[in-house]
Amino acid sequence: MIPSSQLAALRTARHLVVFTGAGVSAESGIPTFRDSLTGLWQRFDAASLATLEAYQQHPALVWGWYEWRRMHVLQAQPNAAHQAIAELARHVPRLTLVTQNVDDLHERAGSEDVIHLHGSLHHPRCVVCGREPSKPLPPPDEPAEGRRLEPPKCEYCDGRLRPGVVWFGESMPAGALDEAFAAARHCDVLISVGTSGVVYPAAEMPERAWRAGATIIHVNPQPSVTHDEREYALSGPAGLVLPRLLQEAFGS
């Protein structure tokens, strides 16, 4: 049973923020960024491939790795947590969904206007002029692990396309971060799901909401809280906990 205090906070919320991390996507079979690489990729360190310097030195290697990741995302399906979040939007006056994930599983589950703090695998941009292609890229042609693929050329300036994600050493999109922090300051309830809380500045979301007076609910297999009031922990996989929270709060 979900504690009544958390259910009451959710039922009366005028503005709910849901803040998701890699744990939500992991339940759809997408490895988290901190998981060890497997197969032919295991000789690489993921962090060493996720930099502008790596792309500039080895563009075909980095593009091939990200296309391999995009292929796995396209093969994955939204799970019960993604679906519960989309359903929550139908029960509260306002829901803002902020994610650190670079996949599109929230959108495929039915969520709209998702704020992507770390960019998206599905929105590459030119490394020279910064513009996105006018049409979505086709699905990857089953790129094998370890395969190098030359990045496509920009249709506007003939530069190379790069993955549309935030790499180490790069800032998050200013507009997305500002919008996320504004939502945290003005929400009644923030549900933090599947996030380790160690990647800053995104990890400031729950604390900023708490300082503004919101109720915080952490959903994780091993959640932790730092405050004695208005902050709660629900232990378990997001795909089990969020549907139960939805059912007990709204009967859905």
Q: Where in the chain are the domains?
A: 1-30+78-123+172-252, 33-75+125-162
- List the one residue out of 89, 34, 38 whose CA is nearest residue 65: 38
The catalytic residues are: 118
- Say yes or no: domain 33-75+125-162 is CATH 3.40.190.10: no
The answer to whether residues 16 and 88 touch, using CB atoms and an 8 Å cutoff, is: yes
Quick one: 1-30+78-123+172-252 is in which CATH superfamily? Answer: TPP-binding domain (3.40.50.1220)
Q: What is the chain's pLDDT, residue by residue, as a tens digit (252 residues)?
A: 788 989 999 999 999 999 999 999 999 998 776 554 444 445 566 778 899 999 999 999 999 989 988 998 999 999 999 999 999 999 999 999 999 999 999 999 999 999 999 999 999 999 999 999 999 999 887 666 667 899 999 999 999 999 999 998 999 888 999 999 999 999 999 999 998 776 778 889 999 999 999 999 999 998 888 888 999 999 999 999 999 999 999 986
The answer for 169, left when phi > 0, alpha when psi is -120 to 50, beta otherwise, is: left
